[in-house]
Structure 1
Amino acid sequence: MISKDDGEEKTVLKLISLKDALELIRGAFSEYFPRVEEVKVEDAAGRVSADDVYSAVNVPAYPVAAVDGYSVASVDLEAASVAHPVRLREVGGGLGRLSRGEAVYVNTGSWIPDGADAVVKRENARRVGGYVEIVRRVPRGKNIMPAGEVVRVGDKIVGKGRRIRPEEVAMLMEVGIERVAVYRRCRVALIAVGDELYEGYQERGVRAINYAYIAARKIEAMGGEVSMIDVSPDDPVTLEEKLGDAAQKCEAVFTLGGCSVGENDIVPKVVVSMPGASILFHGIRCMPAKPSGFAMLGARPILMLPGHVVSMTAALYLLGRPLLNILQGLVEPEDVVVFASCGDSVAARPGMGQLVFVRIEKAGNGYVAHPFGWGTNSLRSIAWTDGFIMLEEGRGVERGQVVPVHLIR
């Protein structure tokens, strides 16, 4: 929030809980509906389905062989044994119907002719002249995949609000679906703020804002589409122009840096001064993302991320991912969690929650999670992290304590 001290405007953090922060973000989009577009089914992997998609056909459409071998009538083999093998006359494929006493060779996936109700594996049969000799009985239905075994008419293949996986794309192809309705990717503008970044960017390009590069790639991994990366100096007029331009071109704006309480942390001051803007919160009770904030510029969200790479990354997972989930219509959490023994203790912070990045090592039949600090080697800790643990306000963790680890993929 912005306060005045002796007539001078100052930024003051008004901390709220992470839970309250997420409720404010969700509340800002209570009537939001992502735009829908149709894409070719082969382009649907990674997109969020805008509809429940059901199969109109059975897969397979008819009984097929589950192995290479001979399709037979099981009743012909009821007396088969090593001592008394049964000989069946081998007939060519393409028959409409198999008669008693006959066998026809089939490959895996081949249709089963009428009259056959089992398949004898190739290695369990022997050709003798024009006959097939079989030394063991097979039950009805053996080695046959019945119609609808994979998918039945009316089965749901993809649920609305779920991210479509490659396996589901293959299933959609299998049932003959050519196009699917998906939510449009959220276009995100990323604006790094700081004189030193602006000057470096003019000379060295994106290499001068490598933290912004991290943010951009993580946003894309979360389903967003970073369509604009810009850098602003610590100049309110320039930043306001860039924010306004970004809000017109994109569905969301993420700022990087300039959101704490220092003299040059101008982002909250600039945002609150813009027509139609309101800051919903600035500051959360969760380290290291404490200075993070969230605002609305008309209908456009502005997520204010800290400039420190560990704080920025933590804020992306705590606030950025839930926001992007809303904007892309994703309704199911995608966290993968493993349990690990903590390799070192993490002290509690009174009144503060914590996101702690960890590196995971295999240890015997389990895992050990080694916590990272966020000091001078902060970039290395982010580069080497495998996941993070969440600690509630005022809670720490002891060495050896088993904790859930949210994996970073």
Structure 2
Amino acid sequence: MTGMIPASEALAQILNAAQPLTDTEMCPLIQAHGRTLAAPQLSPLDVPPADNSAMDGYAIRHADLDSSGAELQPFVISQRIPAGHVASALEPGTAARIFTGAEIPVGADTVIMQEQCRTEDNTVYIPADVSPGNNIRPQGQDIRQGAEVATTGQRLTPQTLGLLASIGIDQVPVLRRLKVAILSTGDELVEPGRPLKPGQIYNSNRYLLAGLLDKMGITCIDLGRVEDTPEATLQALSRATLEADVILSTGGVSVGEEDHVKHAVEKLGELALWKMAIKPGKPLAFGRVGDTPFFGLPGNPVSAFITFLLFARPYLQTMQGLTPLLPQGSQMPASFKRPRKSIRQEFVRVKVTDDGKMETHPNQSSGVLSSTSWSNAMAIVPVDTTISEGDLVQVIRYDQLF
């Protein structure tokens, strides 16, 4: 393959090198969304902690109903039980006015919803044909005391935060946030908001990577643009090792005279992988600067986007203590064709429509960043394969990756 590394082999080597963080900290539950749990969480109580009413209605002892009597039977209302209030034991032959979530009084075993009842003064008329246990949520129905409700290595979702709150937990042990330094190389790069001079372009990769890292719950250390000189490149990479757990650079890893990143990494550390058999993204590099892991993403914005998703993202997920998401996607009829075989695996920007069909962006150039915003998925063309329209191809949606 002319020195290029197959994507699957490269990913295996990259993931094999990933070492999850071990440093932990306590985090207030209200701030824990997206963090990785560092220890299992067990429930100290039953949820709900006592039998409670699932309806607004009336609580009775079912044995007090006379099934051979009138269709509606009168019960004196002996107490009123709003949620959050402690009830008295139910007096025999009476009913308790009860509201949703309120604890069932001792002696009661059935709740009749208010729409099925008729009230008159301090008496409620209850149908005789109700079943025992109706409309009662039993103690521990949701969670039993001692049950594990969240596991080590789990990324905390809003649902899990609510679950932990429901058992009284107000802070959780989590892995500290991963810190990733990003730097952009290229004298042609200008920050948005400034006027462009001839030969210059705006630095889109900086914002692309910062957004992707934020989506992953990672602290971004933004080192900005690095001048295209060996000295500036060495200085920026050395600084990054002091501040970050991982370094991501864009540009400077190809073979041009102004591509200084590759040489700087080799001087300060080691380049373990370079040149992937993929399209776009061939110049991707992986190694270390000192002891700090390093990804050298291509400078073309589409290539930076695709290589981040394919290689940097699962590596960073592993470092976060998570199981990396490596979806297989689904098979779909291709909306494009590739009549010639290639020695590189291609990732085609496509859109999966609401009716389950595929559309292909008309320009697959690695410099057309608009194709990543327009698309919501990538279709995979394997190495040494021809594709005709309608052939089944593997499609991975972007939202399956996070």
Q: CA deviation at 1:406?
A: 2.8
Over aligned residues, Cα RMSD in angstroms?
Answer: 2.7
Q: Does 1:20 align with 2:12?
A: no
C-alpha contact (below 8 Å) 1:286/1:354 kept by paired residues: yes
TM-score normalised to structure 2 length: 0.88
Sort the Cα spacing of 1:155 and 1:343 in 2 relative to 1 into closer, same or farther, 3 A: farther
Equivalent residue for 2:288, pick from 269, 288, 296: 296
TM-score normalised to structure 1 length: 0.87
Q: Which amino acid aligns with 2:215?
A: A
Q: CA deviation at 1:139?
A: 1.9
Bigger mean CA offset, 148-157 vs 301-310: 148-157
**What secondary structure is seen at the aligned counterpart in 2 of 1:96?**
coil
Which consecutive unaligned segments of at least 5 residues does structure 2 have? 81-85
Q: CA deviation at 1:119?
A: 1.1
Q: Which residue pairs with 1:76 in the alignment?
A: 64
Q: Does 1:281 align with 2:287?
A: no
Sort the Cα spacing of 1:293 and 1:221 in 2 relative to 1 into closer, same or farther, 3 A: same
Sort the Cα spacing of 1:80 and 1:181 in 2 relative to 1 into closer, same or farther, 3 A: farther
C-alpha contact (below 8 Å) 1:342/1:368 kept by paired residues: no
C-alpha contact (below 8 Å) 2:226/2:232 kept by paired residues: yes
Q: Which residue pairs with 1:320 in the alignment?
A: 312
Which consecutive unaligned segments of at least 5 residues does structure 1 have? 1-11
Q: Does 1:40 align with 2:32?
A: no
Aligned length: 389
1:146-295 matches, within 5 Å, as: 146-197=138-189, 200-201=190-191, 204=194, 208-274=202-268, 277-295=269-287
**What secondary structure is seen at the aligned counterpart in 2 of 1:177?**
coil
**What secondary structure is seen at the aligned counterpart in 1 of 2:354?**
strand
Could you give the per-residue CA deviations for residues 238-266 of structure 1, whole angstroms, max 9, x where no partner exists? 10111100111111110101212233222
1:338-357 matches, within 5 Å, as: 340-346=332-338, 349-357=341-349
Q: Does 1:370 align with 2:359?
A: yes
Sort the Cα spacing of 1:403 and 1:13 in 2 relative to 1 into closer, same or farther, 3 A: closer
**What secondary structure is seen at the aligned counterpart in 2 of 1:182?**
strand
Q: Which amino acid aligns with 2:72?
A: P
Identical counterparts, % of pairs: 26
**What secondary structure is seen at the aligned counterpart in 1 of 2:33?**
coil
Equivalent residue for 2:74, pick from 73, 87, 91: 87
**What secondary structure is seen at the aligned counterpart in 2 of 1:195?**
coil
C-alpha contact (below 8 Å) 1:13/1:291 kept by paired residues: no
Q: Distance in 2 between matches of 1:339 and 1:134?
A: 58
Q: Which residue pairs with 1:310 in the alignment?
A: 302
Could you give the per-residue CA deviations for residues 7-65 of structure 1, whole angstroms, max 9, x where no partner exists? xxxxx9831122221222233235x5432111101111111111121211111100111
Q: Distance in 1 between matches of 2:340 and 2:144?
A: 53
Could you give the per-residue CA deviations for residues 76-100 of structure 1, whole angstroms, max 9, x where no partner exists? 346278x621222211135421133
**What secondary structure is seen at the aligned counterpart in 2 of 1:378?**
coil
Q: Which residue pairs with 2:120 in the alignment?
A: 128
Equivalent residue for 1:61, pick from 45, 49, 60: 49
Q: CA deviation at 1:354?
A: 2.3
Q: CA deviation at 1:178?
A: 1.5
Could you give the per-residue CA deviations for residues 358-400 of structure 1, whole angstroms, max 9, x where no partner exists? 212122xxx1122334228722111122122334333455434
Q: CA deviation at 1:201?
A: 4.1
Q: Distance in 1 between matches of 2:154 and 2:248?
A: 24
